[in-house]
Structure 1
Amino acid sequence: MSHSDFTLCKYLIHLEHLSEEPLSQVVELGFLLETCRFSEFWTKIKENPKVFSAIPGFRESVCRFIVQIISQTYQRISKPLLMSFLDMSENDLKQFIKQFEWSEITDHHNQLILINNHEENIKSIQIRERVNFDSITSMSGAFRPSKSDFFIKTNIQS
């Protein structure tokens, strides 16, 4: 569920009920995901596995959300950190890397996953100025200080 969908659903629930179980737990989990505390999120999920294992596609949906955040944030990430973010074993992560067309490298004895080359995705834009000097000078009177009593005057005595 996207952030906006989750927020809208929270607004549909009366405030008193948000502090009751299981809603309070769902709100807490949503907060952990929104604040990118992924490892803490998975720890909380493991505390109540029965509740969330009954929801079809829950894990996959959460992983897609995390991958979206990781793709927007990282160009490369350490393999152990990525495994903890996604709560995956090394074998599961290998399949995940293939699925998203990421690549694995070793850099100074660190195992890294290349997520995205952000430079390749940058699109240059040509900016054309459409404001000329004459159009600005005709508005210059609007930028002069006001002589009216619009501003509050105070009597400051030294």
Structure 2
Amino acid sequence: LTRTTIYFTHYLFETYRLLEQPAALFERLGLWFDLAAQGFKTTPEQPEPSRSDCHGWGAHPLYHFFATLLGIRPSAPGFGQVEIKPIPGHLTQLAGELVHPLGRIIVDLHFASGHVRGSVMLPAGLHGTFCYAGKTVALRVGMQAIDL
């Protein structure tokens, strides 16, 4: 099989998320981690031989840090609700702030022995769900503790 290009790897990462395969995602991210050592300051269109040393489509891992690893995704049209379903893989902590039309979604999570602890803050007017290890809890406006 032909390996996906840097651009098309976005769809591969989506597949890894659906299959809950974070190890495969981290392995493929190695390509991005190696770019600086190869002298790149931007993402190329594809690994060598490449005809473009600066290709914005290759920046999609930034999206996946929030949408796949931290797991923040819309669960209703217009981002009217949010689902947070982290897939940490080997990481023991994930944290981030995502700008939402109603304000900031702030997530700080710590993982150990199949459990997650931390906090989620949703802006006024936004509700959603938090899912981890087959468990789901409702999310409300404001700061709330997570312990699953």
- TM (normalized to structure 2)? 0.26
Q: Which has the larger radius of gyration?
A: 1
Q: By percentage of residues, which structure has more strand? A: 2
Q: By percentage of residues, which structure has more helix? A: 1
- TM (normalized to structure 1)? 0.25
